[in-house]
Amino acid sequence: MPNAATQGNGVRHEKGLSMEFDCQQCGACCAVFRVSFYWAEADDAPGGTVPVDLTEPVGTLHRCMRGTQTKPVRCVMLQGQVGQSVACGIYEQRSSTCRSVQPGDAQCLKARLHHGLPV
Ligand code: SF4
Ligand code: SF4
């Protein structure tokens, strides 16, 4: 789930169509992919923000959000119903990976399609 400042921004598609995605009515990207990031983004490292108890190891150098490494994928911090109304329980502390997905980018569209949401 991206930065609040980008939520609901208009998105221009290759075909010239315009579509608005409201992340707070979506949440699909929090329930499709393994949300992994460098281990030091967790709060057991200096400057880390993601609560380490909400993460699982991925190899020796990375962690992922619990709930995103097994099927069906759903981050433990995703609140609400995908495609209806959602929120992130650690919004201000979420990882760089969470922040990197932008409405309308390839990851977003893949996630929305997976959940049967319009693209
Ligand atoms: S899949 Fe796209 S629209 Fe949905 S929450 Fe993620 S970035 Fe926002
Ligand atoms: S931490 Fe928040 S933004 Fe990141 S995957 Fe989980 S619910 Fe989504």
Domain boundaries, the chain: 4-114
Nearest to 38 by CA among 60, 54, 67: 60
* Ligand 1 neighbours (beta carbon < 6 A): 1-2, 21, 23, 26-29, 101, 103, 108, 111-112
In this structure, the residues whose C-beta lies within 6 A of any atom of ligand 2 are 1, 30, 35, 65, 75, 77-78, 88, 90, 94, 98
Give residue 2's pLDDT. 67
Q: What pLDDT does residue 61 have?
A: 98
pLDDT digit of tens for each residue in the chain (119 aa)?
Answer: 765 544 443 333 344 444 689 999 999 999 999 999 999 999 999 999 999 999 999 999 999 999 999 999 999 999 999 999 999 999 999 999 999 999 999 999 999 999 999 99
Return the closest-CA partner of residue 2 out of 88, 89, 80. 88
Count of Cβ atoms closer than 10 Å to residue 82 Cβ: 22
